Structure 1
Amino acid sequence: MVKETSPESQARFTTFLKHLEEARQLQLDWMTYGIDCVDLYVEDVDGDWLETWGEDEDEQMQRQKLMAAIIGFLESNDWVAVRIRKQFKDESKSIADIAIELEKCLSIVEPHERVLAVKKVLADGITATDNDFLTSAEYKEIELLDLAEELQEKLAENFRWGYGSN
């Protein structure tokens, strides 16, 4: 009587054999090279990874705080926030989507480039039927640039983001 094995059991057994072979290879490398075998398995073992431990988490926490601040601002009754929401009223973008794009812009170090990036995000919210702006393309450009500068100033004075600020 032959018992059939399921494909799942066969896959687990194959994975087990692969791990067993890797363990045997590690043991062989340890016996051959001693402590130097660590260099075969660990990248940048002599780097500054211990000194920089936790910095990524700090930066991530800082970005999360900035995102929360931007979302809070965009949901506020501040006249700049109201204009920005109005800018995107016909778009399918949520406030969180807009905040993600703005956070990327605020990480730009050069102030002029940062304002232009914010302006581009705001320009993406303009629809062809938007009657809030005059029909002049030049006026739209000036209006968007003013709004982008106002937004950047509001965020800078209220939230003091930790990177890319001047």
Structure 2
Amino acid sequence: MINQEITERQKRLEQFLQHLESARQLEDDIMKYGLEAADLYFEDIDGDWLETWGDDDDEPGYIEKITTFLESDDVVAVEVRKRLQNKSHDEIIAGLEYCLSQLTEKDRIFAAKDFLVGDVVISGNSRASGNSSINEVELLELAEDLMEKLTDILG
């Protein structure tokens, strides 16, 4: 367990160092070449990519997919709407985005459970709503189903 944790930390540190080195190289190239450095990093920079941006995006975006799911007759979506009826649509989407942003599946599920209970999870702060009569097992199952469905929908 300890070796696995150290290995995971080492991998994240190595990845961070690689990103840092790439950023330093970009900064050096900008200092050395000025605006011409963009040619080193982008193909077809003078093309019409800006004018055609989004033309091939027939698939709905991230928020549209979450919204479509929440408005569907899916059993999980209905239960989520029922539990979060006092929250606005934007608050629900923001809360779900926060839950999905957690690094591990376990953290995502527990963040979703807290969100479904009514705990405030935005910005990493948590404030319990004090509703202890809710069945923890049912909430965890719903949170797990919710995260599984959203992960499948969003890819």
Normalized against structure 1, the TM-score is what? Answer: 0.50
Q: 1:71 aligns with which of 67, 70, 73?
A: 67
Matched, 1:99 2:93: yes
Q: Show structure 1 runs of 5+ residues with no match.
A: 1-43, 131-135, 161-166
* Number of matched pairs: 102
Structure number with bigger Rg: 1
What is the CA-CA distance between 1:153 and the residue it aligns to? 1.2
Deviations along 1:70-115, one digit per CA (max 9) or x if unpaired, are 11111111010000010012x1x21221011101211222110111
Name the CA shift for 1:127/1:114 in 2 (closer, same or farther; >3 Å).
closer
Q: Show structure 2 runs of 5+ residues with no match.
A: 1-26, 31-36, 44-52, 120-127
Matched, 1:80 2:63: no
Name the CA shift for 1:118/1:52 in 2 (closer, same or farther; >3 Å).
farther
Distance 1:80 1:52 in 2: 43
Distance 1:66 1:152 in 2: 14
Amino acid at match of 1:79: V
Name the CA shift for 1:65/1:87 in 2 (closer, same or farther; >3 Å).
same
Aligned to 1:14: none
Aligned to 2:153: 158
Distance 1:71 1:110 in 2: 23
Q: 2:111 aligns with which of 108, 117, 120?
A: 117
Amino acid at match of 1:109: L
Normalized against structure 2, the TM-score is what? Answer: 0.53
Identity of aligned pairs, percent?
Answer: 36
